[in-house]
Structure 1
Amino acid sequence: MSPSTVGMRKYTTSSSKIARGVFAAISVNHRACFHSGPRHIRCFDESDGKGYGMRVIIGVDWSDQTFAAVAQTFHLYHPTDVTLVHGVELGMLEHPLVAQAGNVQGYDDFRRAMVDSGRQVVERAAAMVPAEVTSIRKVNEVSNPAQLILDSANNLSADLVVIGARGRNRLSEVVLGSVSHRVLLHSSRPTLIVRGAARKIQRVLVAIEDRDDADRVVRWLTQHPFVDPVELCVVHAVVPIGVNEPYVGPEISAWLDDVQRYAEELVQTTAGKLVSAHHTVTTKVIQGNPVAMIEQEAKDMDLVVVTSHGRKGISRFLLGSVSHAVVHHVTCPVLVLR
């Protein structure tokens, strides 16, 4: 059966209804007191509004791609408090005793230069933060970048991790690793992977597999609306069973009808929960490989939202993951909810 669009609907609402981010990390809190530098603490109150009050971690390095991740965050949300955390990667030279044992010449100068470079990247990232952000915390540490981002996300109970992807191919990521790959693989929190230039978000593809996915998506989009109104397209992929038409008996035919009805009900129910003054919503049920179908549908989108079921390590490598594959195939930012 060739991939095809099976159904499509549009949902709208009247305007009278209210719809009620070597690496650095940016975090945003509800009400919190943070060190904004040595011995400095700033406090702020939770604010109402679109994207306010979120705790966000943004990973940046010297690449253009990861600075795009900083800019992309503020196209999505309006955080009020930001923490920049930079991890200086020294590898085996992270520990001075190793350098001393190896009689490494100029180690102290090298370490100072790397730490200073980290300070500069934090300052450059801070300069990109909008003036409305009232408090900025800066941390510059010698640490594994991915682990520092993960630890920061856990320690700050982050709502969202944002990181730029530099385009390393999937095989090299599996074998050699990358910061974005490791964060996506090991993070237990929603993660935004940014590819390409930062963009305003107008059209969003929301891919759901089942009701748990739908509930997660609805909860996130309701609690964390985007800065600007968007067009959502809720899509569900029905995977063909690979049986040719002449060999489909009554039982299989009835089962396929049930699958189709379930898919239609799933996307329509989800759309009904999402429609608001902040969202217009359309739905699609498509047939084909989920990754290929999402990649195709994403070509005209500014953002893709998918969910992760938490598969990690060797099981992800052997069995695959739709969310992980989507991140590697689409060219727009991908928000992975957990």
Structure 2
Amino acid sequence: MGRVERERERPQGQAQGAGGGRGDGPGSVLVGVDGSESALRAVEAAAHEARVRGARLTVVHAFIWPLLKVSLDPSPYGPADGGLRRQAQEIVDTAVAHARASVPGVEVTGEVVTGEPLTVLATRSRSAGLVVVGSRGLGAFTGLLLGSVAVHLAAHAACPVLVVRGREKPAGPVLLAVDGSRDADAAVSFAFAEAADRGAELRAVHTWTPSSGPADPTPLFHGTEEIRSEEERVLAQALAGARERWPEVPVEWRLVRGRPRAVLLEESADARLLVMGARGRGGFAGLLLGSVGQALLHHAECPVAVVRDGSGER
């Protein structure tokens, strides 16, 4: 497992690593673990991401108990190797071993960091290239489709976030949700890079409807075909620059009449990865994660990557 070393002080608290640690870097992959089966799936996905990126993988467990002033040492009535501190280290050691077994050769470090999970991962995302989390942790209530850390991190992280959910289809395309927003522009670059790394086809999907609701006056001034032509232009323009940068990536683009939530959920059934911007064109000012994005995080049938404006380049 490697020698356990004490690292330098971090804003979140003192960290300890399995296999040492050199901190995060702009291209590094960070994965949060809590000992759950969902977290181990995330570790596996993160290890594969680190390999294709040629990056280091850092496994992090946020250790909140010191903040609550509870005893971390073994109980006098329990085994000598027990206690919360040892339990936290075992979570990290197990995850590091799982990463190395899943993707031999990838550089992996592990850390136990004092702090609350969302705060720790959001802070560390400022110096990482990608953060990976499972869709549900040990604290999830029965029937809850997405853990609170996953959904909040997707809204607050400074780098792209990969939420490992559903089933990845190895032969499926990388599915890109295109809506012409600034965040969608960042998602385009991220999706093309992912498709290139995986040797996969990119399927770009843009949805449109004649109106957004009963109060939308657009159909009164523009015919249906005129609206469709404009949305087709939005899709072509969104892809143009990326197709020049990644000419090796085969692209299928679909202009689909329908609501984005329903269309993208259906498209996710055969995808290996769904990439979307954090907010769409219809997002309310100040809303960190659009309603369509939240629906996809909860119900998509494949892993979902959420990319914020300016965070998709690598």
**1:267 is aligned to 2:235:** yes
Q: State how far apart, in whole Å, the 2-side matches of 1:192 and 1:74 are.
A: 12
Query: CA offset at residue 289 of structure 1?
Result: 1.8
Aligned residues: 278
Query: CA offset at residue 253 of structure 1?
Result: 6.2
Q: Percent identity?
A: 25
Deviations 1:189-230 (A, max 9, x none): 211111145553641111111153453133324556553211
**1:308 is aligned to 2:278:** yes
Query: What is aligned with 2:252?
Result: 282
**1:71 is aligned to 2:44:** yes
Q: State how far apart, in whole Å, the 1-side matches of 2:248 and 2:36 are.
A: 33
Query: CA offset at residue 278 of structure 1?
Result: 3.8
Residue of structure 1 aligned with 2:197, choices 227, 230, 234: 227
**1:119 is aligned to 2:127:** no
Q: Which amino acid aligns with 1:257?
A: E
Residue of structure 1 aligned with 2:115, choices 143, 149, 155: 143
Query: CA offset at residue 122 of structure 1?
Result: 1.1
Greater relative contact order structure (CA < 8 Å, 6+ sep): 1
Conserved? CA contact 1:202–1:229, under 8 Å: no
Conserved? CA contact 2:172–2:270, under 8 Å: no
Q: State how far apart, in whole Å, the 1-side matches of 2:189 and 2:259 are.
A: 26
Q: State how far apart, in whole Å, the 2-side matches of 1:143 and 1:217 are.
A: 30
Residue of structure 1 aligned with 2:220, choices 240, 252, 258: 252
Q: State how far apart, in whole Å, the 2-side matches of 1:312 and 1:170 are.
A: 31
How does 1:145-160 map onto structure 2 within 5 Å? Answer: 145-154=117-126, 157-160=127-130
**1:81 is aligned to 2:49:** no
Q: State how far apart, in whole Å, the 1-side matches of 2:19 and 2:267 are.
A: 50
**1:337 is aligned to 2:310:** no
Give the aligned CA root-mean-square deviation in angstroms.
4.1
Q: Which amino acid aligns with 1:68?
A: R
Conserved? CA contact 2:210–2:219, under 8 Å: no
Query: CA offset at residue 304 of structure 1?
Result: 0.8
SS in 1 for 2:250: strand
Q: 1:329 and 1:58, CA in 2 relative to 1: closer, same or farther beyond 3 A?
A: same
Q: Which amino acid aligns with 2:60?
A: V
**1:95 is aligned to 2:68:** yes
Conserved? CA contact 2:20–2:109, under 8 Å: no
Q: 1:84 and 1:75, CA in 2 relative to 1: closer, same or farther beyond 3 A?
A: closer
Q: State how far apart, in whole Å, the 2-side matches of 1:158 and 1:43 are.
A: 9
Choose 282-291 or 301-310, whichever is displaced more.
301-310
Query: CA offset at residue 327 of structure 1?
Result: 0.8
SS in 1 for 2:197: coil
Q: 1:36 and 1:224, CA in 2 relative to 1: closer, same or farther beyond 3 A?
A: farther
Conserved? CA contact 2:205–2:254, under 8 Å: yes
**1:61 is aligned to 2:25:** no
Query: CA offset at residue 285 of structure 1?
Result: 1.2
Higher share in strand: 1
Query: CA offset at residue 162 of structure 1?
Result: 0.8
Q: State how far apart, in whole Å, the 1-side matches of 2:276 and 2:20 are.
A: 39
SS in 1 for 2:83: helix
Residue of structure 1 aligned with 2:136, choices 162, 166, 188: 166
Query: What is aligned with 2:186?
Result: 216
Q: State how far apart, in whole Å, the 1-side matches of 2:87 and 2:19 are.
A: 23
Deviations 1:154-204 (A, max 9, x none): 2xx212111110295899689xx7221221232232111111455536411
Q: Which amino acid aligns with 1:304?
A: L
